[in-house]
Amino acid sequence: CIRFILIQNRAGKTRLAKWYMQFDDDEKQKLIEEVHAVVTVRDAKHTNFVEFRNFKIIYRRYAGLYFCICVDVTDNNLAYLEGIHNFVEVLNEYFHNVCELDLVFNFYKVYTVVDEMFLAGEIRETSQTKVLKQLLMLQSLE
């Protein structure tokens, strides 16, 4: 299952950190830095997977942003890789062509998108139509 989700830019700024495991604040900071260090040195010829402590990171780069999901070593790499893409496509629809700034200014909405699609470290909903419908409904609420 998912241990955490991180969205970072190339400079290492965190755009989203979602934790599904108990870590204290120092540990979180350390993880964020370590993930940035292992992911940014890799190029397009490398796999989208990196061993990470006792886990593995499945990541994918979109423009200047790295979307990283830390999962157990026995988890299905490709399912989570496409889980990331599915999530990014939802963000893209929701923010009408998503860019990094959207995530900065609407950080509190991004959490809602995450919770619709991933919960308790598991995949909750995979249908883009269903997620977007729900997000639009929430958007319309006061």
Partner 1 sequence: LSCCWLIHRHSDKPAKMPAVSKGDGMRGLAVFISDIRNCKSKEAEIKRINKELANIRSKFKGDKALDGYSKKKYVCKLLFIFLLGHDIDFGHMEAVNLLSSNKYTEKQIGYLFISVLVNSNSELIRLINNAIKNDLSSRNPTFMCLALHCIANVGSREMAEAFASEIPRILVAGDTMDSVKQSAALCLLRLYKTSPDLVLMGEWTSRVVHLLNDQHMGVVTAAISLITCLSQKNPDEFKTCVSLAVSRLSRIVSSASTDLQDYTYYFVPAPWLSCKLLRLLQCYPPPEDGAVKGRLVECLETILNKAQEPPKSKKVQHSNAKNAILFEAISLIIHYDSEPNLLVRACNQLGQFLQHRETNLRYLALESMCTLASSEFSHEAVKTHIETVINALKTERDVSVRQRAADLLYAMCDRSNAKQIVAEMLSYLETADYSIREEMVLKVAILAEKYAVDYSWYVDTILNLIRIAGDYVSEEVWYRVIQIVINRDDVQGYAAKTVFEALQAPACHENMVKVGGYILGEFGNLIAGDPRSSPLVQFNLLHSKFHLCSVPTRALLLSAYIKFINLFPETKATIQEVLRCDSQIRNSDVELQQRAVEYLKLSSIASTDVLATVLEEMPPFPERESSILAKLKKKKGPGAVSVTELEDSKREGGELNGGGDRGPDTASTPSPSADLLGIRSAAPVGAAPASAGSLLVDVFSEAGDISSLTNPLIPLPCRFVCKNNGVLFENQLLQIGIKSEYRQNLGRMYLFYGNKTSVQFASFTTTVSCPGELQSHILSMHLLEPLVEGGAQIQQVLNIECLTDFSDAPLLNIKFRYGGALQNLTLKLPVTINKFFQPTEMTSSDFFQRWKQLSQPQQEAQKIFKANHSMDTEVLKAKLLGLGTALLDNVDPNPENYVCAGVIQTKGQQVGCLLRLEPNAQAQMYRLTLRCSKDSVSRRLCELLAEQF
The 10 Å CB-count burial string (b at 16+, else e) for 22-45 is eeeeeeeeebbeebbeebbeeeee
| Residue 15 Cα distances to 12, 49, 54, 122, angstroms | 9, 20, 24, 21
Nearest distance from residue 51's CB to partner 1, in Å? 7
Nearest distance from residue 36's CB to partner 1, in Å? 14
Nearest distance from residue 73's CB to partner 1, in Å? 7
Q: Closer CB to partner 1, residue 37 or residue 78?
A: 78
Residues near partner 1, by CB under 8 A? 1, 9, 14, 17, 29, 42, 45-51, 54, 62-65, 73, 76-79, 81-83, 85-86, 88-89, 91-92, 95-102, 104-109, 111-112, 115, 119-130, 134, 137-139, 141-142
Nearest distance from residue 50's CB to partner 1, in Å? 7
Place of tokens 């009408």: 96
Q: Which residues contact 85 (CB under 8 A, 6 or more apart)?
A: 60
Quote the CA–CA distance of 113 and 12 in Å, as a whole number. 22
CA of residue 23 relative to chain centroid, distance = 18
